Amino acid sequence: MKITPSKLISLLFFVFSGFYLYYAHQIQVFTFDENAPFNAKTFPIYLGYAGLTFSALYIILPETKPTNVNLRVLDYKKTILLVILMILYGIFILRAGYFLSTSIFLVLSYIVLGERKWLWIFTLSFPFVAVFMYLLHGLLNIYLRDPFLKFIGIMG
């Protein structure tokens, strides 16, 4: 079996998914939420298993059309900026809260990726995060601590 860049990336994704799954099992849930069919651990655990499964399948199965990746034309600057944004997002989510930090992360990510239409940038960040937060908090009863929304009086 020839090791192509795609197989190497899949191997790295397999390792990443393994770490993700390990840490997903470490998520603490409220005692009344442990036996619920859906809690804070459910989606991350399934996501970890899906990442392991799909990356393992890509590593094991033969490629029908091997892809040649020219490593010189990849945009490393955008990749590094997105990784820095993700690290900053992880740092500020507890301080600023889910709504504000996720919306700002999305706005900055769209700008880094080259989107210049401000209507699309704001439409796909703030309202999208608000709807997703309503689904989590309002419908699924998954509590997200959000100091910003508490400060402006929306959440208690």
Does residue 79 share a domain with residue 35?
no
Nearest to 132 by CA among 90, 104, 89, 102: 102
Based on the fold, state whether residues 58 and 37 are members of the same structural domain. yes
Both 47 and 82 in one domain: the answer is: no
Burial bucket for residue 94 (CB in 10 Å: 0-12, 13-18, 19+): exposed
Band (153; pLDDT cuts 50, 70, 90): confident
**In Å, what is the CA distance from 122 to each residue of 1, 9, 17, 99, 102?**
46, 32, 31, 13, 12
Statement to judge: residues 12 and 80 lie in one domain: no
What's the confidence (pLDDT) of residue 18?
94
**Residue 68 shares a structural domain with residue 82:** no
Task: Tell me the per-residue pLDDT of 16-41, one tens digit each, with 9 for 90 and over.
Answer: 999 999 999 888 877 766 777 777 78
Q: Are residues 64 and 81 in the same domain?
A: no
Q: Is the pTM of this model over 0.85?
A: no
146 and 88 assigned to the same domain: yes
Please identify, among 26, 55, 72, the residue that sits at the C-terminal boundary of a domain: 72
Burial of 37 (0-12, 13-18, 19+ CB in 10 A): exposed
Of 21, 50, 72, which closes a domain? 72
Domain match, 61 and 119 both: no
| Boundary-marking domain end, from 9, 44, 72 | 72
Encode pLDDT of 98-144 as tens digits. Answer: 888 999 999 999 999 998 999 999 988 999 988 988 888 878 777 77
The answer, yes or no, to whether residue 156 has pLDDT greater than 70, is no
Asked whether the predicted pLDDT for residue 65 surpasses 90, the reply is no
Asked whether the predicted pLDDT for residue 77 surpasses 60, the reply is: yes
Domain span at 46: 1-72
- Are 87 and 156 found together in one domain? yes
Share of the chain above pLDDT 70, in %: 94
Does residue 62 sit in the same domain as residue 105?
no
98 phi and psi angles, rounded to 5 deg: -65, -50
Both 101 and 47 in a single domain?
Answer: no
For the chain, what is the domain count? Answer: 2
> Which pLDDT score is estimated for 2?
67
Q: Taking a C-beta distance cutoff of 8 angstroms, is the pair 129, 140 a contact?
A: no
What was the pLDDT predicted at 112? 94
Q: Sign of the CA dihedral 139, 39, 91, 105? A: negative
